[in-house]
Amino acid sequence: MFLPWMQPSQEKYLDFTDSLNDTVELEGIEFRNNVQEGPYGSSDPSESGTSYRNRREQTLKNIGGSMNRKVVFCAVVCCLLIPGSILAAIGRLDQKDDATISVRVRDSRTGVAIPNARVEIIRERGPRINSLGSGTVAATPNENIHITISAEKYTGSESQFVAGPGMLPVTFLLDPIEEPEELRSDVVAAKLDPQKALIHGHVVDSQTGTPIAGATVRLREQHVTAKSDQRGYFSLLAAALPYNMPDDVPLRDDIIVEANDHRTFEILNAFLPQGADTHYIVELQRGSGVDTRDDIHKLQRANPYEGDDTRFSDADLPPAEVSAQGLKPVANSVPLPTNIRLGTNCSCASCSSVLVLARGTYVKRGLNDEWIASWHINALRAGAVAYRSYGCYYAQHPISSNYDICNNACCQVNDSDTSTSTNQAVDDTSGVVVTRDCAHPAKAYYAAEQNHCAGCGNGYAGAPASNWPCITDMVDINQSCNGHGLGACQWGTQRHAVNNGWAWTTIVDHYYYNGGGNRNAKRSNTCP
C-alpha cells in the first residue's frame, strides 16, 4: 500500500522558475541570475537571454526531477525499515473497526467452565491461535474464522464464523461423555414425586464459569428453599396442582436465586409440571442488583379448553411401537448437521452472541420450551421430530453468517433449562426429521392452535393459500385459532396422544404427510 506521500498522483517536480533572482546550488552546480543584457541580449555572446533562460529552467527542472526520484527512493528505503506492525496499523486506517471474536467453553449439562479445553482458532488472513479454556482473536472484517474445541471426557466441537465488525462472543457447549452423577436418569427418577414438581439445577459464576456453593434458591409464592452444594447443584420439590392433561397448563411460580457478591437472578412464571422435573443452569453476574428472565410458556393460556382426561401409557401402544427402550431402533438416511449455531441475546432474529451446541443438546434445551414437559410421551416425541426438523433446516439455511437460528419465538424458543421427559423423547426419536426428498430436512412448521385458521373450517387445520391443505383435526374443534395453519398443531399432538391414543409416528404423519401440497414430508426413518 502506498503511503499518502508515496502516491504517484502526489509526486511533483521541483520548480525553480519563480526564483531566478536567487542563487541556487544543487549537486555542486551553482546558478546565479546575473544575466546582463548586451548586444546579443545575454552575458553569453553565443546565446540570447531568452534561450539561456529557457535552457537554465530546463536544467533546473531536470535536477529537480532527479531530486524527486531520490526523495521517493529514500522514502521506499525508510518504509522497509518501518516495523511491520506500524505498517499494518497504517494499512487499517480506512477500516472503521477491527473484528474480535471471543471464545469460551462450558459444560452443556452443568454450565461450568472447562479449563483444560483446547481452543484452536484458524484465521483466513492471520496466524493460528492455540489456547486453553478460552481464546480471543482480533481479525479483520469479513475474515473467515474456523474454531475447533476438544477436551478430555467431552465430545469435541467445531464451527466457522465471519469476523466483525465489532465483538462477537461465542460460547461452545461440550457434551460430557458421561452424565454428571446428579443428572443421571436413575438419580433424577428417584427424586421425582408424582404429585409434585422437581426443580433442580446448577448455579455458576457468569464470568469464570466456576460453581457457586451456598447460593439460595427459593420459590416466591411457595417459600420452598434450597442451597447449592460445592458443585453448584440444588434441588427442591414444589407443590404442583393436578391439571387436565389434554388442555390445561401446569401451575407456575417465580424462582429466585441469590448468592453473596452476585446479582440476584429471578426466573419469572416458571412451570411446575406435576410428576416432572425442570433442570436450570443459572449464571449469576457479579455485583449488586436484580436480573430477570420471563419464562412464561408460549402455550400458556388464560382460559384452557376442558376436554376428556383420557390417559394412555406406552403399554397401550401397538407392539410395533415398543422396544426395550420404548421404541423400535431408529434408522435415518438424511444427513443432518452435527452442531447448531444458536443466536442468543436476540431482538427477534437479530442476535449479538452465539452458542455452538450439539444437535441433540439443542433439541433437548428447546423441546420443553415449545411443548410441555408433563405431556404424554408420544406428544413429546412428535414434538421432538418437528423441533429437530425446523432447527436442522435452518442449519442448512442460516439466517446469519454467524448463527443458524435465533433462540426466541421469532424462530423457536431455546434456553438453558431441560426436563427428563423431553430429553427422553429426543433420545427416542434420535436423528428423525421430516423430509420431502429423503436428502434434506423440511421446514417443519407448527403453532399452538391451528383450528379454524387461514381458510379452514371448525375442526380442520391448514392454510390452503400457503399450499397446506385443510385436514380433519376434530380433537381441536371449537378451539380458537392461535397460529398460521401451517404444519402441526402443538395442542393437537397432546390431544391425539391422550384422547386418541396415537403413536408419535401417526401424529407426525397426520400433520406432515397427509393430503398433498406441502403436507408431503415423510419421516426420514421411512426413506429407502
Residue 290: predicted pLDDT: 98
Checking if the pLDDT of 141 tops 50, the result is yes
**Residue 480 maps to a domain:** yes
Number of domains in the chain: 4
Do 356 and 487 lie in a common domain? Answer: yes
Residue 244: predicted pLDDT: 72
Do 360 and 498 lie in a common domain? Answer: yes
Averaged pLDDT for residues 240-253: 82
Check if the beta carbon of residue 52 is closer than 8 Å to that of residue 42: yes
Nearest Cα neighbor of 422 from 370, 376, 367 is 367
- Give the span between the Cα atoms of 5 and 106, in whole angstroms: 51
- Give the span between the Cα atoms of 476 and 384, in whole angstroms: 21
Residue 486: CA count within 13 A, CB half-sphere: 11
Which three-class secondary structure state does DSSP give residue 98? coil
Pick the last residue of a domain from 75, 91, 107.
91
Beta bridge pairs of residue 351: 346
Residue 98: predicted pLDDT: 74
Q: Which of 2-6, 266-270, 299-303 has the highest mean pLDDT?
A: 266-270
Domain that holds residue 85: 4-91
More confident residue, 157 or 41: 157
Q: DSSP labels for 446-482?
A: EESB-BT-TT--TTEEEEGGGTEEEEE-GGGTTPPPB
Do 519 and 370 lie in a common domain? Answer: yes
- Give the span between the Cα atoms of 372 and 362, in whole angstroms: 16
Angstrom distances, CA of residue 351 to CA of 81, 169, 394, 408? 44, 11, 15, 10
Averaged pLDDT for residues 347-351: 94
- Give the span between the Cα atoms of 354 and 147, in whole angstroms: 13
**Residue 306 maps to a domain:** no
Averaged pLDDT for residues 328-346: 83
* Mean pLDDT, rounded, of the chain: 81
Checking if the pLDDT of 416 tops 60, the result is yes
Residue 26: predicted pLDDT: 34
Do 398 and 417 lie in a common domain? Answer: yes
Checking if the pLDDT of 373 tops 50, the result is yes
- Give the span between the Cα atoms of 164 and 167, in whole angstroms: 7
pLDDT band at residue 97, thresholds of 50, 70 and 90?
low
Do 448 and 502 lie in a common domain? Answer: yes
Q: Tell me: the pLDDT tens digits for 430-450? A: 999 999 999 999 999 999 999
- Across 201-215, 314-328, 358-372, 434-448, least confident range: 314-328
Pick the last residue of a domain from 91, 123, 156.
91
Averaged pLDDT for residues 461-483: 95
Nearest Cα neighbor of 285 from 204, 362, 356 is 204
- Give the span between the Cα atoms of 114 and 117, in whole angstroms: 6
Q: Which of 71-80, 125-134, 316-325 has the highest mean pLDDT?
A: 125-134
Q: Tell me: the pLDDT tens digits for 379-394? A: 999 999 999 999 999 9
Checking if the pLDDT of 75 tops 80, the result is no
Q: What is the CA 506 to chain-centroid distance, rounded?
A: 32
How many helices and strands in the chain, by DSSP H and E?
8, 28
Residue 29: predicted pLDDT: 34
CA dihedral (273, 277, 278, 281) in degrees, to 10, reads 160
Which three-class secondary structure state does DSSP give residue 260? coil
- Give the span between the Cα atoms of 272 and 243, in whole angstroms: 11
Check if the beta carbon of residue 488 is closer than 8 Å to that of residue 382: yes
Q: Tell me: the pLDDT tens digits for 288-314? A: 999 999 999 988 744 333 222 222 222
Do 344 and 476 lie in a common domain? Answer: yes
**Residue 509 maps to a domain:** yes
Do 404 and 351 lie in a common domain? Answer: yes
Task: Report pTM.
Answer: 0.77
Q: What is the CATH number of the domain that holds 106?
A: 2.60.40.1120
Check if the beta carbon of residue 172 is closer than 8 Å to that of residue 151: no
Checking if the pLDDT of 505 tops 50, the result is yes
Averaged pLDDT for residues 472-486: 95
Please confirm whether the linkage preceding 165 is cis (ω < 30° from 0). Answer: yes
Residue 15: predicted pLDDT: 35
Q: DSSP labels for 125-152?
A: SS--EEEESEEEEEE-TT-EEEEEEE-T
Q: DSSP labels for 470-513?
A: EEE-GGGTTPPPBS-SSSEEHHHHHHHHHHS---HHHHHHHHHE
Q: Record the cell numbers describing residue 244, joined without a space.
A: 387436565
- Give the span between the Cα atoms of 364 and 339, in whole angstroms: 13
Do 444 and 463 lie in a common domain? Answer: yes
87: enclosing H helix or E strand? helix 84-91
Residue 493: predicted pLDDT: 98
Do 73 and 103 lie in a common domain? Answer: no
- Give the span between the Cα atoms of 288 and 498, in whole angstroms: 47
Q: Tell me: the pLDDT tens digits for 271-294? A: 999 999 999 999 999 999 999 999
Note every long-range contact of 156-159, with CB atoms under 8 Å and residues 24 or more positions apart, other chains counting.
Answer: 157/339, 157/356, 157/357, 157/358, 158/339, 159/339, 159/341, 159/356
Do 132 and 236 lie in a common domain? Answer: no
pLDDT band at residue 332, thresholds of 50, 70 and 90?
low
Angstrom distances, CA of residue 457 to CA of 215, 476, 493? 53, 11, 19
More confident residue, 132 or 1: 132
Checking if the pLDDT of 361 tops 80, the result is yes
pLDDT band at residue 4, thresholds of 50, 70 and 90?
very low
Burial 160-191 (b: 16+ CB within 10 A, else e): ebbbbeeebbbbbbbbbeeeeebbeeeebeee
Q: Which of 5-9, 192-196, 322-326 has the highest mean pLDDT?
A: 192-196
pLDDT band at residue 331, thresholds of 50, 70 and 90?
low
Checking if the pLDDT of 62 tops 90, the result is no
